[in-house]
Amino acid sequence: MRQALKSIIYLGAILLPMLLSAQDTPIVNSTISGKVIDAANSQALIGATVSIKGTTNGSSTDANGEFSLITGQRLPFTLIVSYLGYVKKEILINEKKVEIKLDANSNQLDDVIVSSRRRQESVQDIPIPITVIRGATAEDAGAFNPNRLKELIPSVQLYSSNGRNTTLNIRGLGSSYGLTNDGIDPGVGFYVDGVYYARPAATAIDFVDIDQIEVLRGPQGTLFGKNTTAGAFNITTRPASFTPGASFETSYGNLNYIQAKASVTGPLGKKLAARLSFSGTQRDGTLYNQTTLKPVNTLNNVGFRAQLLYTPTDKINITFAGDNARQRPDGNATVVAGVVTTKRAAYRQFNNIIADLNYKLPSTNPFDRITDADSPWRVNNDFGGASINIDAKIGRGKLTSTTAWRYWIWDPSNDRDFTGLPVLTKSQGNSRHDQYTQEIRYAGQFSTRLSGVFGIFLINQDLKSDPVQTEESGSAQWRFSQSSTSALWKTPGLFDGFGTNTTSRLKTFGAAVFTQFDWAITNQLHLLPGLRFNYDKKDVDYKRQTYGGLQTTDAALIALKNAVYTNQAFKFKVDENNFSGQITLAYKPSTNVNLFATYANSYKPVGVNLGGLPTANGAVLIDLARVKPEFVTHYEFGIKTKPSAKSTLNLVVYNTEIKDYQTSVQTAEVGVNRGYLANAEKVRVRGFELDGNLRVSSNFSLTGAVTYTNGKYISFKNAPVPLEETGGESAFKDISGGRLPGISKWAGSLGGEVSKDGGLLSLKGKYFLALDGYYRSEFSSSASPSQFLNIDGYTLVNGRVGFRASNGITVLVWSRNLTNKNYFEQLLPAAGNAGQYAAVLGDQRTYGITLRYSF
């Protein structure tokens, strides 16, 4: 660690003088405010983008069409103003308060502004594959959490069987597919207002007052504090404003769906403004439990967010933010989707086991949406935190400090056997996670030819059992664990109440220095080098102790109990440091064409196993406790074009290879909770992405994307066997050449909206009709390719129709999964691998009405 910190200081000593020497003397500051209106009817334009030309400074208009900018520029300077369906305007201003009129233009797309490179830029001008979803667009589409974004962005994959077991991937990479092990870091960065969310469960929460979502694809470790080997979500919320405003929204739908949102902002003084936001969602369950006689898999989510904006001078913005999100659904139940005949003896096959126990599945059709799970379901998921963000104008750039603390409390209870039998009666992996992060970066235009970002990032994490994690068997466990014909297995009470209590703690420290520059060799040709240094340290203390069951001194009976659960303990420390980076060459032969090529390498930190380790001949395989870091090599070629003023068309071709790929694998051992982590020697993902937008007229627009993704194991010689080969001659298999799980070769989205000017009662506005379609081809749902655990391709259609008034009133009727398509999200082998596997079902058709009002 000491050597790593010396390296960070050394690297900073080299780069920081370069930044300081490139800065200009600070200049006089101004506060600019104004309003953006329709030139024809003087109606306020809500959500118009306003930025200062040649700077990192920008904002959006509020519910009254008003904006405010605090800047270090001396008047006069040029504002760039854009809005969907209107002509982009550059206007030279000489006053601190302005009114800007935009002309409607059916032949021009709006200019989408992003901040992922720490400056305000047009998305078409940056040499990064990036998709932008505005908050209003996500709200209209019903994408109130990250899981629903995948229907708008086909390069994104998100799988969740519950809050902890959530996987967020881009191009099929990022986190291990299926069951999550807390000992590895995600490869997709998830940022909200510059704050990194370390746990994958963060992606299961509802959005609260989102302004814009930027999804960057490919390694982005030279732009963001935490290493992002597969991409990043850069999410910004609506900021506090000195202009008073508010918005209220409520939705009602089938399954007793109710959602309410509210946001209020305004000044508390001349230099202090605040914003309070709320979101709440409730819905009845999508499955029916025959044991409890009530629906399960409900929604019960509440989220709050508060912000204070303090502007002590025109040069400094300080934002204090705090948030809390709580989920209390009634279960994340699955249904038994099928039964596979394994290579075990006939008496160890699932159908024979349940016949001996006089049990029958409630249904053999998973889309009957029936379960009989007999263990109590509890899915208490709490997230929250606080942050202080300081932006200071220095020279031609901005110095930003983001200090944050976040917590995650996970309090679950699951039925791991997926049936109404008392096999695994408790599965309670309680955890508490605290993280502290500090990021300091400087971004700006250092000279007429050089711009970029330089930053330092620190993260400290403490993840521990809260207070203990429990796994417990019931009276039917003996029949599922029976591995011989010995009559001792039937010993009364042998496994009833037999379980484990686990205490674990993972302490993690990470540090990084990162930088990326943009050197304009000519006005058309840019070179963008980036460099990153990582240091990661992990300290693990794991202890598992058995309890309960039949208390006996009989060695034979003790051996049977040990075949299910054993005591296990280990402590160890690991640390790694590495350099990584990228280089991009971008060429703009014209204002409508942007060509770029990128080479990048990146590291995903060393991992540790926290769910228990498998055994061999009774010995714990302690060597599996450490999971080697991933090394990523990435190539990418892209072209962004504007074929006309009313269209864009972009193409990216990429190839990503990963050495020591971190993957989560199932094991037949009941005592290895949620599988364990391992390294595949090498994997490769390659493909292309095509996306475009077309504004046919001021009242008709289309957007679409198509992706081809081919992911496979180049080498994985010691992988676990798939479910159907459990009980064969070997527990491991060479699956080199097999496909990676969770990746559809083809995926696409297509959306369109048609509108017409009109009135509702005394309101003027537009009627609209919108449809969104999402398709993905079939994919594997098993880490080791299985002929049974494949999910068929499917198409989803979502639609909405309504009225959007000019003064902020919106009424819309919507439906998701309009065709009521039955489809699987995931297929999961049950613990013990007796042959049965469960399914996470996609939601059936839902529909409802939304009322929204802003002022």
Does residue 48 contact residue 82 with C-beta atoms inside 8 Å? yes
The tokens describing 132, both together, are 């932008």
Nearest of 773, 786, 688, 785 to residue 740 by alpha carbon: 785
Nearest of 417, 298, 299 to residue 357 by alpha carbon: 417
- Return the residue matching tokens 């809005």: 83
Q: How far apart are CA 361 and CA 70, in angstroms?
A: 64
Q: Is the pLDDT of residue 53 over 80?
A: no
Q: What is the pLDDT of residue 806?
A: 67
How far from each other are the two terminal CA atoms of the chain, in whole angstroms? 53
276-291 in b/e form (b: 16+ CB < 10 A) is bbbbbbbbebbbbbee
Q: How far apart are CA 675 and CA 698, in angstroms?
A: 53
Prediction pTM value: 0.86
**pLDDT-based confidence at residue 19 (cuts at 50, 70, 90):** very low
Q: How far apart are CA 33 and CA 243, in angstroms?
A: 10
Q: What is the pLDDT of residues 260-312, one digit of tens each?
A: 999 999 999 999 999 999 999 999 999 999 999 999 999 999 999 999 999 99
Q: What is the pLDDT of residues 610-665, one digit of tens each?
A: 776 666 666 666 677 788 899 999 999 999 999 988 899 999 999 999 999 988 76
Q: Is the pLDDT of residue 547 over 90?
A: yes
**Apex CA 512: angle with CA 511 and CA 515, to 5°?**
165
Rounded to 10 degrees, the C-alpha dihedral 558/561/565/569 comes to 0
Please tell me the least confidently modeled range out of 293-307, 584-598, 650-664, 749-763: 749-763
Cβ within 8 Å of residue 17, ≥6 positions away? none
Q: Is the pLDDT of residue 4 over 60?
A: no
Q: What is the pLDDT of residue 259?
A: 95
| SS3 (DSSP) at 839 | strand
Q: How far apart are CA 835 and CA 418, in angstroms?
A: 12
Better-scored residue on pLDDT, 799 or 122: 799
Residues in the chain: 855
Neighbours of 367 (CB within 10 A): 15
- The phi, psi pair for 270, rounded to 5°, reads -65, -25
Please tell me the least confidently modeled range out of 15-24, 464-473, 527-536, 801-810: 15-24
Does residue 329 contact residue 712 with C-beta atoms inside 8 Å? no
Kind plus residue range of the DSSP H or E element containing 356? helix 350-356
Give the pLDDT mean for 245-253: 93
**pLDDT-based confidence at residue 562 (cuts at 50, 70, 90):** confident
Instruction: Give the side-chain half-sphere CA count within 13 A for 416.
Output: 30
Q: How far apart are CA 640 and CA 588, in angstroms?
A: 10
What is the rounded radius of gyration, in angstroms, for the C-alpha atoms of the chain?
28
| SS3 (DSSP) at 653 | strand
Q: How far is CA 703 from CA 85, 109, 538, 770, 777, in A?
A: 14, 11, 44, 11, 20
Does residue 163 contact residue 201 with C-beta atoms inside 8 Å? yes
Q: How far apart are CA 616 and CA 818, in angstroms?
A: 50
Percent of the chain with pLDDT over 90: 57
Q: How far apart are CA 722 and CA 735, in angstroms?
A: 10
Give the pLDDT mean for 593-598: 96
Give the pLDDT mean for 383-412: 93
The tokens describing 631, both together, are 């090394």
Kindly list the strands in the beta sheet with 836-841, ordered across the sheet, starting from the edge strand earlier in the chain. Answer: 335-339, 836-841, 824-829
Q: What is the pLDDT of residues 654-702, one digit of tens each?
A: 999 999 998 876 555 555 555 667 789 999 999 999 999 998 887 899 9
| SS3 (DSSP) at 441 | strand
Q: What is the pLDDT of residue 789?
A: 94
Q: How far apart are CA 380 and CA 703, in angstroms?
A: 38
Give the pLDDT mean for 128-156: 85
Q: Is the pLDDT of residue 399 over 70?
A: yes
